[in-house]
Amino acid sequence: MPRGKFITLEGGEGVGKTTNLVFIENYLKLHCIPVIVTREPGGTLLAEKLRQLLLDKESEAISEHAELLLIFAARAQHIQHVIEPALASGTWVLCDRFTDATFAYQGGGRNMKNSTIKWLENLVQGSLRPDLTLLLDAPIEIGLERAKSRSNLDRFESEKIQFFEQVRRAYLLQAELNPNRIKVIKANQSLIDVENEIINVIGNFLR
Protein backbone atom coordinates (compact mmCIF):
# COMPACT_ATOMS: atom_id res chain seq x y z
CA MET A 1 0.00 0.00 0.00
CA PRO A 2 1.41 3.43 -0.94
CA ARG A 3 2.26 5.70 1.96
CA GLY A 4 -0.17 8.52 2.69
CA LYS A 5 0.67 12.16 2.09
CA PHE A 6 1.25 14.68 4.87
CA ILE A 7 -0.36 18.11 4.33
CA THR A 8 -0.06 20.94 6.84
CA LEU A 9 -1.96 24.21 7.12
CA GLU A 10 -0.08 27.15 8.62
CA GLY A 11 -0.67 30.79 9.42
CA GLY A 12 -0.91 33.38 12.16
CA GLU A 13 -3.93 34.35 14.22
CA GLY A 14 -7.29 34.90 12.51
CA VAL A 15 -6.26 33.85 8.98
CA GLY A 16 -9.08 31.29 8.65
CA LYS A 17 -7.26 28.02 9.24
CA THR A 18 -10.22 26.29 10.89
CA THR A 19 -12.63 27.14 8.06
CA ASN A 20 -10.19 26.16 5.35
CA LEU A 21 -9.14 22.96 7.13
CA VAL A 22 -12.72 21.71 6.77
CA PHE A 23 -12.77 22.81 3.12
CA ILE A 24 -9.54 20.92 2.34
CA GLU A 25 -10.76 17.81 4.18
CA ASN A 26 -13.97 17.79 2.14
CA TYR A 27 -12.07 18.41 -1.10
CA LEU A 28 -9.80 15.41 -0.48
CA LYS A 29 -12.74 13.18 0.46
CA LEU A 30 -14.49 14.29 -2.73
CA HIS A 31 -11.48 12.83 -4.57
CA CYS A 32 -11.86 9.55 -2.61
CA ILE A 33 -8.69 10.14 -0.57
CA PRO A 34 -8.75 8.68 2.96
CA VAL A 35 -7.75 11.49 5.32
CA ILE A 36 -7.58 12.26 9.03
CA VAL A 37 -7.54 15.80 10.44
CA THR A 38 -5.43 16.64 13.47
CA ARG A 39 -3.71 19.62 15.08
CA GLU A 40 -0.62 20.87 16.89
CA PRO A 41 0.05 21.13 19.66
CA GLY A 42 -2.33 18.24 20.28
CA GLY A 43 -3.64 15.17 18.55
CA THR A 44 -3.22 12.70 21.43
CA LEU A 45 -4.41 12.66 25.04
CA LEU A 46 -1.02 13.72 26.43
CA ALA A 47 -0.36 16.22 23.64
CA GLU A 48 -3.74 17.87 24.24
CA LYS A 49 -2.88 18.25 27.94
CA LEU A 50 0.41 19.88 26.95
CA ARG A 51 -1.54 22.16 24.59
CA GLN A 52 -3.71 23.31 27.51
CA LEU A 53 -0.59 24.16 29.52
CA LEU A 54 0.92 26.07 26.60
CA LEU A 55 -2.21 28.13 25.88
CA ASP A 56 -3.22 28.89 29.48
CA LYS A 57 -2.35 32.53 30.12
CA GLU A 58 -3.26 32.16 33.81
CA SER A 59 -0.51 29.59 34.49
CA GLU A 60 2.98 30.43 35.75
CA ALA A 61 5.29 32.16 33.30
CA ILE A 62 6.69 29.56 30.90
CA SER A 63 10.34 30.03 29.95
CA GLU A 64 11.13 30.09 26.24
CA HIS A 65 13.10 26.84 26.43
CA ALA A 66 10.32 25.13 28.42
CA GLU A 67 7.79 26.28 25.81
CA LEU A 68 9.90 24.93 22.97
CA LEU A 69 10.48 21.58 24.70
CA LEU A 70 6.79 21.18 25.57
CA ILE A 71 5.89 21.76 21.93
CA PHE A 72 8.34 19.11 20.74
CA ALA A 73 7.26 16.71 23.50
CA ALA A 74 3.68 17.02 22.23
CA ARG A 75 4.95 16.60 18.65
CA ALA A 76 6.85 13.42 19.52
CA GLN A 77 3.65 11.86 20.92
CA HIS A 78 1.63 13.09 17.95
CA ILE A 79 4.03 11.62 15.40
CA GLN A 80 4.35 8.25 17.12
CA HIS A 81 0.69 7.67 17.92
CA VAL A 82 -1.20 9.47 15.13
CA ILE A 83 0.77 10.80 12.17
CA GLU A 84 3.15 7.93 11.38
CA PRO A 85 0.57 5.12 11.84
CA ALA A 86 -1.87 6.94 9.54
CA LEU A 87 0.72 7.62 6.83
CA ALA A 88 1.99 4.05 7.01
CA SER A 89 -1.56 2.74 6.49
CA GLY A 90 -1.98 4.84 3.33
CA THR A 91 -4.16 7.48 5.00
CA TRP A 92 -3.40 11.14 4.29
CA VAL A 93 -2.84 13.41 7.27
CA LEU A 94 -4.12 17.00 7.28
CA CYS A 95 -2.61 18.87 10.21
CA ASP A 96 -3.45 22.30 11.63
CA ARG A 97 0.12 23.60 12.14
CA PHE A 98 3.37 21.66 12.44
CA THR A 99 7.06 22.57 12.74
CA ASP A 100 6.84 25.62 10.47
CA ALA A 101 4.76 27.11 13.30
CA THR A 102 7.65 26.48 15.69
CA PHE A 103 10.08 28.31 13.41
CA ALA A 104 7.52 31.16 13.18
CA TYR A 105 6.34 31.47 16.79
CA GLN A 106 9.37 30.36 18.78
CA GLY A 107 12.02 31.27 16.18
CA GLY A 108 10.44 34.50 14.91
CA GLY A 109 8.20 35.55 17.78
CA ARG A 110 10.48 34.52 20.64
CA ASN A 111 13.77 35.17 18.79
CA MET A 112 15.02 31.65 19.51
CA LYS A 113 17.82 30.26 17.38
CA ASN A 114 16.63 28.39 14.29
CA SER A 115 19.60 26.05 14.75
CA THR A 116 18.14 24.95 18.11
CA ILE A 117 14.73 24.32 16.56
CA LYS A 118 16.33 22.49 13.62
CA TRP A 119 18.23 20.23 16.02
CA LEU A 120 15.02 19.29 17.84
CA GLU A 121 13.22 18.86 14.51
CA ASN A 122 15.80 16.28 13.40
CA LEU A 123 15.79 14.56 16.79
CA VAL A 124 12.01 14.23 17.11
CA GLN A 125 10.95 13.86 13.47
CA GLY A 126 13.81 12.00 11.85
CA SER A 127 13.14 12.28 8.12
CA LEU A 128 9.43 13.17 8.51
CA ARG A 129 8.52 16.43 6.79
CA PRO A 130 5.22 17.62 5.28
CA ASP A 131 4.72 16.83 1.59
CA LEU A 132 2.77 20.05 1.11
CA THR A 133 2.19 23.10 3.30
CA LEU A 134 -0.40 25.79 2.67
CA LEU A 135 0.50 29.06 4.40
CA LEU A 136 -2.49 31.34 4.89
CA ASP A 137 -1.11 34.87 5.02
CA ALA A 138 -2.85 38.15 5.86
CA PRO A 139 -1.79 41.54 7.22
CA ILE A 140 -1.43 41.36 11.01
CA GLU A 141 -4.16 43.92 11.75
CA ILE A 142 -6.76 41.90 9.80
CA GLY A 143 -5.85 38.61 11.47
CA LEU A 144 -5.84 40.03 14.99
CA GLU A 145 -9.17 41.79 14.45
CA ARG A 146 -10.71 38.46 13.41
CA ALA A 147 -9.09 36.64 16.36
CA LYS A 148 -10.37 39.20 18.89
CA SER A 149 -13.93 38.85 17.58
CA ARG A 150 -13.96 35.13 18.42
CA SER A 151 -13.56 34.47 22.13
CA ASN A 152 -11.18 34.88 25.05
CA LEU A 153 -7.62 35.23 23.82
CA ASP A 154 -5.14 32.50 24.82
CA ARG A 155 -1.53 33.00 25.92
CA PHE A 156 -0.21 33.36 22.37
CA GLU A 157 -3.10 35.47 21.07
CA SER A 158 -2.49 37.90 23.96
CA GLU A 159 1.01 38.81 22.72
CA LYS A 160 1.86 42.32 21.49
CA ILE A 161 1.61 43.24 17.80
CA GLN A 162 5.41 43.19 17.34
CA PHE A 163 5.37 39.48 18.24
CA PHE A 164 2.88 38.74 15.46
CA GLU A 165 4.80 40.83 12.94
CA GLN A 166 7.88 38.74 13.72
CA VAL A 167 5.82 35.55 13.40
CA ARG A 168 4.52 36.62 9.99
CA ARG A 169 8.01 37.52 8.75
CA ALA A 170 9.35 34.15 9.92
CA TYR A 171 6.52 32.31 8.17
CA LEU A 172 7.17 34.13 4.89
CA LEU A 173 10.90 33.43 5.24
CA GLN A 174 10.12 29.72 5.62
CA ALA A 175 8.09 29.95 2.40
CA GLU A 176 11.02 31.60 0.61
CA LEU A 177 13.39 28.88 1.82
CA ASN A 178 11.00 26.04 0.86
CA PRO A 179 9.16 27.21 -2.28
CA ASN A 180 8.45 23.69 -3.58
CA ARG A 181 6.70 22.64 -0.38
CA ILE A 182 5.19 25.83 1.07
CA LYS A 183 2.55 27.59 -1.01
CA VAL A 184 1.39 31.01 0.19
CA ILE A 185 -2.36 31.68 0.04
CA LYS A 186 -3.56 35.29 0.40
CA ALA A 187 -6.05 34.99 3.26
CA ASN A 188 -7.31 38.59 3.08
CA GLN A 189 -9.31 37.81 -0.09
CA SER A 190 -12.94 36.72 -0.14
CA LEU A 191 -13.50 33.17 1.09
CA ILE A 192 -14.37 31.94 -2.42
CA ASP A 193 -11.10 33.35 -3.79
CA VAL A 194 -9.15 31.69 -0.96
CA GLU A 195 -10.87 28.37 -1.71
CA ASN A 196 -10.11 28.69 -5.43
CA GLU A 197 -6.42 29.25 -4.65
CA ILE A 198 -6.44 26.21 -2.39
CA ILE A 199 -8.11 24.08 -5.08
CA ASN A 200 -5.45 25.20 -7.55
CA VAL A 201 -2.57 24.28 -5.20
CA ILE A 202 -4.00 20.92 -4.12
CA GLY A 203 -5.10 20.12 -7.69
CA ASN A 204 -1.52 20.59 -8.88
CA PHE A 205 -0.28 18.48 -5.97
CA LEU A 206 -2.68 15.64 -6.80
CA ARG A 207 -1.53 15.67 -10.42
Enter the DSSP assignment of 185. E
Please state the rounded mean pLDDT for residues 120-149.
Answer: 88
Which among 54, 52, 46, 82 is positioned nearest to 70, based on CA atoms? Answer: 54
What is the model's pLDDT at position 166? 94
Q: Are 140 and 90 in contact (CB under 8 A)?
A: no
Query: Has residue 158 got a pLDDT over 80?
Result: no
Domains and their CATH numbers in the chain: 6-206 (3.40.50.300)
Query: Has residue 112 got a pLDDT over 90?
Result: yes
List strands edge to edge, sheet with 132-137.
35-39, 92-96, 6-11, 132-137, 182-186
Res. 157 pLDDT band, cuts 50 70 90: low
What is the model's pLDDT at position 200? 97
What is the model's pLDDT at position 50? 94
Please state the rounded mean pLDDT for residues 9-21.
Answer: 90
Enter the DSSP assignment of 94. E
Res. 43 pLDDT band, cuts 50 70 90: very high
What percentage of the chain exceeds 70 in pLDDT?
93
Please state the rounded mean pLDDT for residues 14-20.
Answer: 88
Query: Has residue 13 got a pLDDT over 90?
Result: no
Q: Are 154 and 106 in contact (CB under 8 A)?
A: no
Res. 72 pLDDT band, cuts 50 70 90: very high
What is the model's pLDDT at position 128? 98
What is the model's pLDDT at position 56? 82
Query: Has residue 151 got a pLDDT over 90?
Result: no
Q: What is the dihedral of CA 114, 117, 122, 125, to 10 degrees?
A: -130
pLDDT, mean over the chain: 92
Please state the rounded mean pLDDT for residues 139-145.
Answer: 75
- pLDDT tens-digit readout, 114-125: 999 999 999 999
Query: Has residue 131 got a pLDDT over 70?
Result: yes
Q: What is the pTM of this model?
A: 0.92
